[in-house]
Each structure stands twice: as structure tokens, then as C-alpha cells.
Amino acid sequence: MTRYALSPNLMTLLMVVVILVFMVWRSDNVSQSCVQIAQSWNKAVLVAPMLLWNERLVSRRGVRQRFNPRRNAERRVRRYVSWKRRQPKVSRAVRRRCREQVVRALLQTSITNPTGQLKLGRPQSQSKGGVGKRGIGGVTEPQTDPLAELRQQRGWVDQMSESELWAILVRIRWPHGPVCPHCGEHDEEYVRLLKADYRNGLGRWHCQVCAEAGDPGEGGTFTPLTGTLLAGTKLDIRTLWLLVETFADSQASVKASKEAGVNRHTADRTFRLLRAAIYQARSTEPIVLGPQDVAECDEVYITAGLKGGAGGLTLEREARKRGLKRRGTWDSDRLPVFGLLCRGGEVRLFVLPNVQTATIRPIIEQMVEQGAKVYTDGYCIYHFLSQAGYQHQVVNHSAGEYARDLDGDGHYEVHCNTMECTWSWLRPMIRTYRGVSKVYLPLYVAQFEFFFNRRHHNHWNRTLDVLQTVFSVEGSQVADLLTKVEGTALAQICPVAG
Ligand SMILES: [Zn+2]
């Protein structure tokens, strides 16, 4: 390269002189050549340096000759401008509105832009990007969210220590102090706390009576969960609380699993357990106690076929029927739910294989004391009530009658609208679960009845009631219920088909 040691300026000058001489030599007369020189002066000045050899102008090996970023950029701009010209005209007002929308969106992103990566719950797109990188007015500093750590939590449960949460659960289990689940001993002398920090605060107790009797159980020791439906659960206490809370909120298990950050099968199993406990703990006591009380009876039909392998039943079936109308039975995939309520009191619901006098008579006789007022619609299955010793009144829906004033005081007391109103709450609740198998329908109806009778309680109290119900299941039923919840035998818990 040392052969070309001339400076570029000197070479430019030399080249211009050569071109001038060349043009003068080619032209016919000098004056014309002067004009030509003047005209092509600008071109010459531009072109001359390009003609000169320069080390930078020589393309390296392997580089595309025609690749020119500057020209490509110009070409892109030209293409964009011509495309833009071809677009339909947009009014100034519309353009302003679009601009404002973009600015508003950017501003909002800058306010709620968390810096931390979230493990659960929030979508990924919100946690990265945003204004931090390319903001308005050239803001390049990363935006730090002061609540980033808080946003990674799942609610109030993550605010409390595990031992505090266990303490609430233990208090629900033993409201009057620890009781040995094996022998029922509760004397503080014989039952003492062995290990307080077992499972981060659940605790393990020792029963001297069982230990001396050589009880094989757990060597005379027990935890508050021993002998309950929650025995052997591997869920940590925070997740357990969260699942029970979402259950008390009547959410579907898939949604609850996302909320709690666990597998959906885990949430589903827990929910089945809670539902089975509620079904098991239903009361069989009468709710209408005498002539002073008023009972309303009605029935509704829920479309529910077989679904999946529910109840261990084979899938050799036709497609599920949809859009069924009118009354139905277990066989026609439109199950009757019989409802009975005491005005100002509780509701009891029963899923039946069919609605006949023979099916509902034992239920009414068990739940309603003789002599009570019973109001129904005109369905013939209720005709037995007058002979059975009840003050039966009928509202004739087919004649357009929905309420009747018996004693002429202006108060229309004969109606079954309270019961019919209940159905308008049952239907949307069942719809939450997007198609319930008819095998499990009684469980869902029992769950609805449980929460409907507590509809005036607050959410916290409903959660406590669920846990209390779980712990109230008798020790002898627990093992049976647990095996059925695990397997396909759940249908045996609530046999509808008889
Ligand atoms: Zn004991």
C-alpha cells in the first residue's frame, strides 16, 4: 500500500486538472468548452473523489458489493412515503385522538410497571418492557416499582406467619383445647404438647393414656389433623387456607389453582374433599316445626348427563343432550331437584331420580311437622298433602295465578315465589362449573345449599364454616370418604339412581 502515498486532497486536485484538460481537448472551441466546464463543474467535483482510489472504497472479500446501508435506508423512506401517500385521508381530529390514546397508554404503563418477575398470577407481558426502555421524552432510567415484592404475594395469607395460620386451624379443630383423637382424653395432665414447631407450627401432642395402653397409632402422639379429612395432606397451610377461601367463594377449581399457584388436580382433589364433607354433614332434622311455620315446595330440572369417566361409569354413551326442556328424570339426563324451605329459615335441596309422590312424600314427612302450612304449585304430585294432615294451599300457575290473598287483608301470603327465587341462584352457580356430571350433581347441590343458607354471613365466616364442617365428619366415616374421594367411587357417596 505504500506505493500510493499521495494524500487524498492532492490527488483530487490532480484529477480535476486531468478532467479539465481532457474536456478542453475534446471540445471544438474554447468558449463552448468553458460553458461545458461550468455546467459539469458540480458533477465533476462530486464524481472526482469517487474516481480516486481510496483504501476504504475497496470492498473486503466476502462482503456484498451492492449492500449499501445508506441507500437502503433512503429506499425504505421513499417506499414508506409513497405508501403513505396512497393511504386514505385521516382527519386531524382522528389523528389527534390516536396520539392521545398512545400517550395515555404509555403513561399508564409507567405507573403500573412492576420490575420484579412474578411467579404466579400476573401475565408476563406486564412485568417486562414498558416505559423503562424507551419512554416519553427520552426517559431511559428503569422504573422501579416500590410494591414489586408485595405483588409477588397471593393475598393476606402470605402476610401472616405459618404458625399463626396453623393456630387458627387448630382453634377451629379444638375450640375447647386439645383432645386425643384415639381415646378422647382431654385432661391437660395426660395430653401435653410434644413438639410445637412440627410442620412450622401445626404441633404434635402426646397422649399418656394411649402411650401406656400401647396404642399402635402414632406411638401415642397425634396432630390436630389426625383422624380428620385433612390428615396426610401435603399442602402447606397458606395454600390450604387459600383453597378453602376460593371454595367458599364458589369458584371453579381451575381458577382456584391459578389463584393459589398449585396444580389443578391438587385444587380439584381438595374441592372434592370439601364438597364430600359438606354432603356428608347435611342435616336430616325437620326445618318446619309446626302450624305457625310456612313451608314452600317446588322442583326444578337441571340438565346434566354423564361426563368423562365420572363415577367409574363406562363411556359407551351417546353425545350429551343439550337444550332439553320441560320436566325430566335421571334417565332423560334432566335431573329433578326438589326444594323445600321454611319462610324466614333454611332451604333443603334433594336431587331425585324422578319426581313422584312416592319419591317426595318421605322427604316432606321427615322435614315438615304435621299441621304446618305448605304452599305449592298445582302439580299433581302434591295432592296427597291435604290428606296427610298439612294445611295445603295451591297457586295455579297455569291460570296465571302466582300469589293469593287468603284472608282478604291485602297481604298475598299464598305463593311459592321464595322457593322459585332460589332456583335463579342455583342455575348460575351450577353454570360456574361448565357442565356437571349427573353422578356428582348432588354434591354441587349440597354445596349450593350450604352456602345459600349462609348467604347473610360474611366471607370469612363462610370459610370458617367450611373448615368446621370438614372437621365435623365422624372419625369412622373419614377413611371411607377419603378412599372414595381418591378413586372413582365418589358416586357412591351420593347415589341418586338409588
Ligand atoms: Zn389417647
pLDDT over 90 (residue 297): yes
CA of 472 to the centre of ligand 1 (A): 19
CA of 217 to the centre of ligand 1 (A): 9
- Exposure of 341 by Cβ count < 10 A (0-12 exposed, 13-18 middle, 19+ buried)? buried
CA of 205 to the centre of ligand 1 (A): 10
CA of 180 to the centre of ligand 1 (A): 5
Determine the pLDDT at residue 113. 45
What average pLDDT is seen over the chain?
Answer: 82
pLDDT over 50 (residue 311): yes
Determine the pLDDT at residue 2. 45
| Mean pLDDT computed over 294-299 | 93
69: pLDDT confidence band, cut at 50, 70 and 90?
A: confident
CA of 319 to the centre of ligand 1 (A): 54
Percent share of the chain, pLDDT over 90: 38
Determine the pLDDT at residue 497. 39
Determine the pLDDT at residue 489. 55
CA of 184 to the centre of ligand 1 (A): 6
| Mean pLDDT computed over 413-439 | 90
How many CB atoms are closer than 10 A to CB 401? 14
461: pLDDT confidence band, cut at 50, 70 and 90?
A: very high
CA of 214 to the centre of ligand 1 (A): 10
Determine the pLDDT at residue 399. 85
| Mean pLDDT computed over 441-450 | 93
Determine the pLDDT at residue 132. 47
pLDDT over 90 (residue 103): no
Q: What is the 3-state secondary structure (H, E, C) of the chain?
A: CCCCCCCHHHHHHHHHHHHHHHHHHHCCCHHHHHHHHHHCHHHHHHHHHHHCCCHHHCCCCCCCCCCCHHHHHHHHHHHHHHHHHHCCCCCHHHHHHHHHHHHHHHHHHHHCCCCCCCCCCCCHHHHCCCCCCCCHHHCCCCCCCCCHHHHCCCCHHHHCCHHHHHHHHHHHHCCCCCCCCCCCCCCCCCEEEEECCHHHCCCEEEEHHHHHCCCCCCCCEECCCCCCCCCCCCCCHHHHHHHHHHHHCCCCHHHHHHHHCCCHHHHHHHHHHHHHHHHHCCCCCCCECCCCCEEEEEEEEEECCCCCCHHHCCCCCCCCCCCCCCCCCCCCCEEEEEEEEECCCCEEEEECCCCCHHHHHHHHHHHECCCCEEEEECCHHHCHHHHCCCEEEEECHHHCCCCECCCCCCCCCECCHHHHHHHHHHHHHHHCCCCCCCCCHHHHHHHHHHHHCCCCCCHHHHHHHHHHHHHHCCHHHHHHHHHHHHCCHHHHCCCCCC
How many CB atoms are closer than 10 A to CB 312? 12
Determine the pLDDT at residue 1. 43
pLDDT tens for 386-422 read 898 899 999 988 888 888 888 888 888 899 999 999 9
pLDDT over 80 (residue 51): no
pLDDT over 50 (residue 128): no
CA of 191 to the centre of ligand 1 (A): 8
CA of 245 to the centre of ligand 1 (A): 32
**Which residues on neighbouring strands pair with residue 295, listed in sequence order?**
342, 374
pLDDT over 60 (residue 496): no
Rounded to whole angstroms, how far apart are CA atoms 493 and 337? 17
Q: Between 310 and 184, where is the model more confident?
A: 184
Cα of 462 vs its chain's centroid, Å: 19
CA of 457 to the centre of ligand 1 (A): 36
pLDDT tens for 361-383 read 999 999 999 889 999 998 889 99
CA of 235 to the centre of ligand 1 (A): 26
pTM above 0.75, yes or no: no
pLDDT tens for 225-260 read 998 989 888 899 999 999 999 999 999 999 999 999
Determine the pLDDT at residue 238. 95
